[in-house]
Chain A
Amino acid sequence: MIGLRKKLSGGQRAVLAAPYLWIVVFFLAPMALIAKISLSHPAETRPPYEPTFSIDDGLAGAFAKARTLGFDAYRALADDRLYLDSYLTSLIIAGVSTAIMLMIAYPFALAMARAPRRYRPLLIGLAVAPFWTSFLIRVYAWIALLKDEGLINHALIALHVIDAPLSIYATNTAVVIGIVYSYLPFMLLPLYSALERQDPALREAAADLGGSPWQVFVRVTLPLSRPGVIAGCLLVFIPAVGEFVIPDLLGGSETLMIGRTLWNDFFANRDWPAASAAAIVLLALLIGPLLVAERARLRAEEQPS
């Protein structure tokens, strides 16, 4: 911040202010609104919560209304097994998916980064090619693949690998498959960029000093790709926790992910305060790992000075 205290021209200030303004208007203000709703009470009104503030209240009226705000929704959240289970299931499904994606994407990214330079743009193009089709359609396609009379079961039965169809569709496994499939490029690209940046001379130096190919990977390539691993994991883990479409389409009735529970509370039960409180808690849960990662990054950057 000290660096910013130099004199800036009006134009420079405006340019610097623009992104902050954007965050305030489109992120912080809606967040504040949700936080306020989470402190309200459900009601048979429109919008379905109390109190609602208006300019006509006057200062005293607004103050009286503000006193009715409370943490009831949060208390209800803590008492409700459904929410606890939803959070846990979401974190577990997102965590398992992230781990699987890391294991699939790492060798892919490595192969891309080591491919001849002229093929790399093509490989990146192929990696993001699925984005050219609607996300919804691709998730629907997985239903056709996974369901009991779907393509995968047909093929496996025809090949006599299995006798009875595997019931994957409408389970947590199907949700994990869907998330892994949909989010893989977001894991792949940061890994690729971290691996591609590595100086090949470092690997040669490690080999020259007696490192076998495996040792070179474990001692040099892997530790140097850590920023890419962290970025990729955050990039897929955070949206996966709050994922709604994939569990809704591929999950079963037992798939309790927070996005779905939240949706139910908001639209089916019209309990806006409960849904808002759930959203705020989710945000708090996700900011945790982000802060940890950011602190690790800052520590790594501070050390040289």
Chain B
Amino acid sequence: MLDEMPLLCVEHASKRFGAVVALDDVSLKVDAGEFFALLGPSGCGKTTLMRLVAGFETPDSGRVLLGGRDLAGAPAHKRPINMMFQSYALFPHLNVFDNIAFGLRRRGASRDAIFARVGELLDIVQLQNLGARKIDQLSGGQKQRVALARALAPGPSLLLLDEPLAALDRKLREETQFQLKDIQRRLKTSFVIVTHDQDEALALADRIAVMRAGKIEQVGSPIEIYQRPKSRFVAGFVGATNMIEGFVAQDNGGWFVAPFGRLMRAECALRDGARAALSLRPEQIVVARDGDGVPGVVEDIAFRGETTQLRVGVVGREALRVSCANGSRFSLGEAVRLTIEPDAGVLFAEAE
């Protein structure tokens, strides 16, 4: 990514539907071969942005460029971009083979070329023997893979995926996540996925754009988004967090004064007395039976398999969510001590 121009460039795109502002001056760059996620709650504009790129909507203002070429005036069927629809939108009157071949036939590929390419894609999505099946004879997971194969068949330089895993059950979704990532890496095609599921975005994407109310709040790698959220919204939307209200004290170094005690903030630029909020991830709070941490009481225990989630009641605040390894077994009502590393979490000024 040292080099040339990005593959996809959205510049100052805005779109209104009547009184509703779906996109408000959005700019975005996606590099070739990148797995990019548009993440946000429903109604944040992520789907509109995707449809703008696909050519199903036109921006009121702003531009969409693909490989430096302005796509204004190019209808959907003339864009080298394919889309995998949330509902899959498979053609019910065609079998699996003909669905996948649809895009190839539209560009006038030869019979042999179509046969070879469809076979290749059936291999990729592991549906080798299902070419002759009708669509309504497929399971949900199979439909999902046919939809992926169909969208990949014409060899797009950019593949858009609209909530591709939303219709699958949890176990299948996790398996499919890995397959999707694997396919993307092998084909080196740029994938832009739209999702409201933060786990999906974190697991799949090289970079994530978190959207809210028609604007992009933050763009970054999953680790950046998770560890250094730029706003309270991003901190709260991506991953579980404890948003602790308090204020800043500047005496003998910086402090964040939470209802349950003072936490050291060595690098705090906020002035003394400024109201602020600290976002602390559940795993940034260490729970122990004794020691000199913040005293608390275990109010709730949820076993999660690899970890256990506790809710620990502390002074002056609703319970904190704490994550701990399964080795230490706590019981309901047990008195515990919570320790928080200096400078753990992210501090937000109150202005938001």
Contact = CB atoms under 8 A, between A and B. Distances in A.
Interface of B: 54-56, 75-78, 81-83, 85, 87, 89-93, 102-103, 106-107, 134, 136-137, 150-151, 153-154
Contact of B89 (A204, A210, A213, A219): A204
A205 interface: yes
Nearest to A205: B89
A199 to B, nearest CB: 7
A304 B135 CA distance: 9
Contact of B91 (A207, A220, A303): A220
A287 to B, nearest CB: 28
Interface string A229-260: 00000000000000000000000000000000
Nearest to A198: B92
Nearest to A201: B89
A205 B153 CA distance: 13
B16 to A, nearest CB: 18
B89 A202 contact: yes
Contacts of B54: 204, 208
Given A209-B106, A210-B77, A210-B106, A199 B93 contact: no
Classify the secondary structure of A's interface with B: helix
B96 to A, nearest CB: 14
B83 A205 contact: yes
B49 to A, nearest CB: 16
29 contacts: A201-B85, A201-B89, A202-B89, A204-B76, A205-B83, A207-B75, A207-B76, A208-B54, A208-B77, A208-B82, A208-B151, A209-B82, A209-B102, A209-B151, A210-B77, A210-B103, A210-B107, A211-B77, A211-B102, A211-B106, A212-B106, A215-B106, A219-B102, A223-B93, A224-B92, A224-B93, A303-B134, A304-B136, A304-B137
Given A208-B83, A209-B102, A209-B154, 11 more contacts: A205-B91, A205-B150, A207-B75, A208-B151, A209-B77, A209-B82, A210-B103, A210-B106, A219-B102, A224-B91, A304-B136
A127 B90 CA distance: 32
A194 to B, nearest CB: 12
Contact of A205 (B85, B137, B154): B85
Nearest to A300: B93
Interface string A83-111: 00000000000000000000000000000
Nearest to A216: B77
Q: Residue among B76, B77, B78, B93 with the most chain A CB within 10 A?
A: B77
Contacts of B151: 208-209
